[in-house]
Structure 1
Amino acid sequence: MSSLSFILRSSTKAGRHPGSLFLRVIHDRKVKTMSLSCYLYAEEWDVARQEIIYPGNTERIQYLERVEEKISTCVTSMNRYLSILKKQGRYTAKDIIMQSRLSKDNGKLLGWVETLARELTQARQERLARAYRTVAKGLVKFNKGIDIPLTHINSCLVKAFEKDLMEKGKMPNTISYYMRNLRSIYNKAVMAKRISPRQDNPFTGVYTKVKTTSKRALTVQETTRLYEIVFHMLRAKSSDYLSENEYVDNLQYAWRLYMFCFFAQGMCFIDMAHLRKDNIRNGVCTYYRKKTRQQIEVTINEGMQKIIDSFAQDVKYSPYLFPILKDDGINKQTQYDTALRTQNRRLKALAKLAGINRLMTTHTARHKRKSYRLLINKLRMCYFSIGNDLETNLVLRYA
């Protein structure tokens, strides 16, 4: 149940000054307010009846009439937004306020993109929503920070933006990423009749292809060196320093997550982060890829099971398989983005320890199945021949 009301906040300035009129939205016992940019004196507002009081001062009558019209328009609009949000499903007081703000700015790039992004987020297409926001902010930054009316998106602007990306040294695939997403944003504005289609396509002649990039997966030798890192020896060397022990523990934590992705036939980090305990049934991990929504099935092998078991205490009261995402009120996307940055930072340190002289990220755990079988066979040999095997590496030994 949602309720709308208007409140007049008194001015904090000394002397006689009008107060500010705010719209107050209450939904699920959460309160949000939004300024109407209307300024009234206390005697001009009836709190109980929620309406304008016209005083004898004729100089204020025209202004008060405009305020009254604005209040009426606001109530009509907010009721329409509430109707839309109810059809879409669950919503918050913040969503109601945001819907109102976006409606005023849908004629410009940032406002339109935010509308699209919110719809995509509700459809669980967070990656595309994030891409749209990134591209829109990039174009606005190129435009010296000034938002761009959708009607101003033309071939001249688009080609100038493409040239600027080239001059900044952006790779062809990055430029294509910007152009393809910007074209999608523009086309959706045309389909939604926000703007009329141009006779000359703004994206004619810009680069929208995707070049094949070099494979980033680690070699057999590099993966073996990473696998053979002896964490308990590193911990022993720093036994006198608690901070260093914590540093080693953090590296070991990152190592376990990375090796799980590897043992899971090159699982993406985002898919691993969202794995729940009920994704595993009868020794098989079944999940849907976040990027493509394709269903994937991976048989739980020995390496995967040992890593899962090593996190058992950390996720004892959590529905997730790994302690990456938590139900603590923090936005899941924020949690994931933080975890990804932290993981990649720690992987750089692990690469240095393993003597891997190239950039190592979560993506290097991805590989083709043929490479996976070759690597697994090599590592199985290591597993039975090394004293500090996988199980030893998975035991946390705090000082």
Structure 2
Amino acid sequence: MSAIVSLYLDTRRQKKDGTFPVKLRVTFQRKQQYYPTSITLTESQWEKVGKPKPREDFIRDTKRLLETFSGRAEKIIRDMPLFSFEEFEKRYAGSSEAPSDNVVVGFESYIGQLKQERRVKTAESYQCAANAINRYHQRKTPLTYRDIDPQWLKGFEQWMIGNGNSITTVGIYLRSLRTIYNQAVEDGIVDRDSYPFTKRRYQLPTGRNVKKALTLADIEKIFHYPAKPGTAEEKARDLWLFSYLCNGMNPKDMARLTYQQVGAKQIRFIRAKTERTKRDVKAINVIITEDIRRIIDKWGQKPVAPQRYVFDVLEPGMSADREMAVIRQFVKTINKYIRRIASTLGIDKDVTTYTARHSFSTVLKRSGAPIEFISESLGHQDIRTTESYLDSFEDEVKLQYANALTSFRSSKEHD
């Protein structure tokens, strides 16, 4: 039996500001122990935090911080070979040394954790963010969490753009910094009242969504492209189509797909991107069409065995670094040939594996599929993420709707 972690609003003693302390509750064999957090809330705020999608910035930030508290406790419990409250308290409290308020140290610690979890690509992204922050700081004294205020964040944003970086890159780096800052709040390194990442203080920039989806007509051209049988070009085309047909499956998930996940009527898998980062992650279900089955039969490894990878990309026992390198080459190869095919067909877009995912969602949208269905198919937890994937309607459809505004003209002309 494993210990259970939950959050609890302790209403026994109200503070002068009308709030109550939020505590971490750990339950094991019917025994409960409570541990303090740095967060206090009113009863109405606590009720809002419990809702799936709170609207207020303060409530959303608080919910995220509380999830960080409980997530850390759950990880500690998972890593314990045998649970005891005494051992849990020792691990949860950490070492006796005062935690560092050096932001770069925070990055290094988190990057090490990511590497242990084999999340190499994410670790590299955080390392890039840390490098950029280091270059911007350029002082003899280390950058501390107390240095991170709205003015510093705006300065970093302007410096990044001035050095030729896109607003999308700035947003990615600052979201990484926000995660490290949240960890520091959880560890008691910085006071929560200093939290700068709010709508009123500093709002993270978001890049303009560059439309990446293909039209159905372009996808039809790729589908019927006469690649020479048995060539690398034919394989790249088929694997690109496999991604498109399988809910926009990520190349990493394609590489890690095993026959055990392929049933008679559907493929069932959990995205590698989310399996370690979210709780209660739902599996993605892909209905197997004739075209999907044809691609598996043509390019799948033989003989078929439950634990065997479907496609010949990875090998069992690979290190995380080696696996990442192989998947990158896999993506590079597909992109090389699919770009050639697109160019030959006169498709005026940069077609990549990422295009397949965007095209899947956008074609469904244009066919009238509900956004909730598209979101579930992509494995998104938030519909707003799905909305960012969806391309606008094709020009022909826009013209059709525009003509509808004066459809009375055509009816009179026929009278």
Q: Shorter-chain TM-score: which interval?
A: 0.5 to 0.7
Segments of 5+ residues of structure 2 without an aligned counterpart are 1-75, 82-96, 275-280, 368-415
Q: Report the equivalent of 1:319.
A: 308
**CA deviation profile, 1:53-81 (whole Å, cap 9, x unmatched):** xxxxxxxxxxxxxxxxxxxxxxxxxxxxx
Equivalent pair of 2:313/2:326 in contact (CA under 8 Å): yes
SS at match of 2:284: strand
CA contact (8 A) 2:265 2:287 kept: yes
Highest CA radius of gyration, 1 or 2? 1
Match of 1:222 among 218, 224, 230: 218
- Pairing partner for 2:261 from 279, 282, 286: 279
Is the 1:261–1:268 contact (alpha carbons within 8 Å) kept by the matching residues of 2? yes
Q: Match for residue 51 of structure 1?
A: none
Q: Does 1:298 align with 2:297?
A: no
TM score, norm. by length of structure 1: 0.56
CA distance in 1, matches of 2:180, 2:326: 27
Runs of 4+ in 1 over 6 A off after TM superposition: 314-318
- Which of 141, 157, 165 is 2:160 aligned to? 165
Aligned residues: 264
Match of 2:231 among 245, 249, 252: 249
On the 8 A contact 2:245/2:360 being kept in 1, the answer is: no
Q: Take 2:296 and 2:169, find their aligned partners in 1: how far apart are those partners?
A: 36
* Aligned positions of 1:378-389 closer than 5 A: none
Match of 2:278 in 1: none
For 1:277 and 1:298, how far apart are their aligned partners in 2? 14
Alignment of 1:2-17 (within 5 A): none
Deviation at 1:144, TM superposition (A): 5.6
For 1:135 and 1:273, how far apart are their aligned partners in 2? Answer: 28
The answer on whether the counterparts of 1:283 and 1:300 sit within 8 Å (CA) in structure 2 is: yes
Question: Residue 133 of structure 1 aligns to a residue in which SS?
Answer: helix
Q: Report the counterpart of residue 208 of structure 1 in structure 2.
A: 204
**More displaced stretch, 155-164 vs 200-209:** 200-209
RMSD: 3.7
| CA apart distance, 1:278 | 0.4
Name the counterpart of 2:334: 343
Q: How far is 1:306 from its partner?
A: 1.2
| Deviation at residue 162 of structure 1 after TM alignment | 0.8
Identity of aligned residues (%): 24
Deviation readout 1:283-325 (Å, 9 max, x if unpaired):
2100112334431111211111111112234786872111222
Question: Could you tell me which amino acid in structure 2 is paired with residue 160 of structure 1?
Answer: G
The residue aligned with 2:363 is 371
Q: Is the 2:170–2:205 Cα contact (8 Å) retained in structure 1?
A: no
| Structure 2 CA distance for partners of 1:373 and 1:227, relative to 1, 3 Å | farther
- Work out which of the residue numbers 109, 126, 136 in structure 2 matches 1:142: 136
Letter in 2 for 1:164: W
Partner SS, residue 267 of structure 2: strand
2-side partners of 1:176 and 1:169: how far apart? 14
SS in 2 for 1:286: strand
- Structure 1 residue runs of 5 or longer lacking an equivalent are 1-83, 90-102, 236-247, 376-399
Distance 1:252 1:303 in 2: 14
Deviations 1:69-126 (A, max 9, x none): xxxxxxxxxxxxxxx9x9567xxxxxxxxxxxxx999654444223213334555655
